[in-house]
């Protein structure tokens, strides 16, 4: 029996639940801080106003849904480890990941221009504590960089690609990926396209994981430096 459509449905369900839950939480966080005179960029700045709570939700949501993705790979006899990396191509894959990280950095610099539209009503982040920094590394570098690539790139290519076409599936999941990070005003869509390129070029998830986790880590370090 061909389980392709069932697998695709399960893959879409996993990422849809993650997207809707986290996006809903982010919208709630943003709009509960609304004040008269705020523009949309100001409102969006409050998504991460409570970093501890934000990181906790991000970690919990991804880790709760990860087992469903792992089970999907296992039930279909597909090695998730081999989808992430293989020894024979690890050097090339890492190099591609570094190139993708550099491209992501350029996109991130351009994206900072958006924040020039903030007013004095926007959230002003202070210097993070050691605890918040550690949680940030876990949530943004490890969970987002690794788990979200499995969910938004791996599931799309492996399980939805055979049903709707690989590129169509990757773009569909990238739209959900962008919705989840709506408050960065489209940067995630560009980051997703870079990750898709790295994934398709290497055939392994380690390349987009390096780009995604790496740019998040750099952003965290930048935050510490400018507020320190």
- 3-state SS string over the chain? CCCHHHHHHHHHHHHHHHHHHHHHHHHHHHHCCCCCCCCHHHHHHHHHCCHHHHHHHHHHHHHHHHHHHHHHHHHCCCCHHHHHCCHHHHHHHHHHHHHHHHHHHHHHHHHHHHHHHCCCCCCCCCCCCHHHHHHHHHHHHHHHHHHHHHHHHHHHHHHHHHHHCHHHHHHHHHHHHHHHCHHHCCHHHHHHHHHHHHHHHHCCCHHHHHHHHHHHHHHHHHHHHHHC
Q: What domain count does the chain have?
A: 1
* Range 200-224 average pLDDT: 96
Contact 6, 143 (CB under 8 A): no
Q: Is the pLDDT of residue 76 over 70?
A: yes
Q: Tokens in use for 160?
A: 């939805």
* Range 42-46 average pLDDT: 96
Q: Tokens in use for 91?
A: 């050097």
Report the pLDDT value the prediction gives residue 126, as an integer from 0 to 100. Answer: 87
* Range 142-150 average pLDDT: 97
pLDDT digits (tens, 9 = 90+) for 130-141: 999 999 999 999
Report the pLDDT value the prediction gives residue 142, as an integer from 0 to 100. Answer: 96
Q: Is the pLDDT of residue 205 over 80?
A: yes
pLDDT band of residue 6 (cuts 50, 70, 90) is: very high
Can you tell me whether residue 203 is helix, strand or coil? coil
Supply the mean pLDDT for the chain: 95
Q: Which of 64-73, 119-128, 134-143, 205-214 has the lowest mean pLDDT?
A: 119-128
* Range 27-41 average pLDDT: 95
Report the pLDDT value the prediction gives residue 227, as an integer from 0 to 100. Answer: 85
Report the pLDDT value the prediction gives residue 87, as an integer from 0 to 100. Answer: 95
Report the pLDDT value the prediction gives residue 151, as an integer from 0 to 100. Answer: 98
Q: Is the pLDDT of residue 154 over 50?
A: yes
Q: Is the pLDDT of residue 1 over 50?
A: no
Q: What's the pTM value of the predicted model, to 2 decimals?
A: 0.94
Q: Which of 59-63, 89-93, 102-106, 183-187 has the lowest mean pLDDT?
A: 183-187
- Residue 8: which domain range? 4-227
pLDDT digits (tens, 9 = 90+) for 15-29: 999 999 999 999 999
């Amino acid at each position: 029996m061909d389980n392709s459509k069932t697998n695709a449905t399960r893959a879409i369900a996993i990422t849809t639940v993650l997207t809707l839950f986290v996006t809903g939480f982010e919208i709630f966080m943003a709009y509960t801080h609304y004040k008269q005179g705020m523009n949309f960029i100001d409102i969006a700045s409050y998504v991460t106003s409570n970093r501890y709570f934000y990181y906790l939700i991000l970690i919990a949501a991804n880790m709760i849904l990860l087992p469903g993705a792992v089970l999907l790979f296992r039930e279909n006899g597909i090695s998730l480890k081999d989808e992430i990396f293989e020894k024979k191509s690890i050097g090339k894959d890492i190099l591609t990941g570094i190139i993708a990280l550099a491209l992501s950095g350029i996109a991130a610099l351009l994206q900072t221009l958006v924040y020039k539209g903030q007013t004095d009503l926007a959230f002003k982040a202070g210097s993070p504590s050691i605890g918040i920094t550690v949680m940030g590394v876990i949530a943004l570098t490890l969970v987002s960089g690794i788990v979200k690539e499995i969910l938004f790139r791996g599931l799309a290519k492996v399980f939805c690609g055979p049903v709707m076409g690989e590129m169509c599936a990757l773009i569909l999941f990238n739209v959900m990926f962008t919705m989840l990070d709506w408050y960065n005003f489209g940067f995630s869509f560009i980051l997703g396209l870079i990750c898709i390129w790295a994934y398709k070029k290497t055939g392994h998830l380690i390349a987009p994981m390096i780009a995604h986790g790496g740019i998040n880590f750099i952003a965290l370090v930048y935050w510490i430096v400018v507020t320190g």
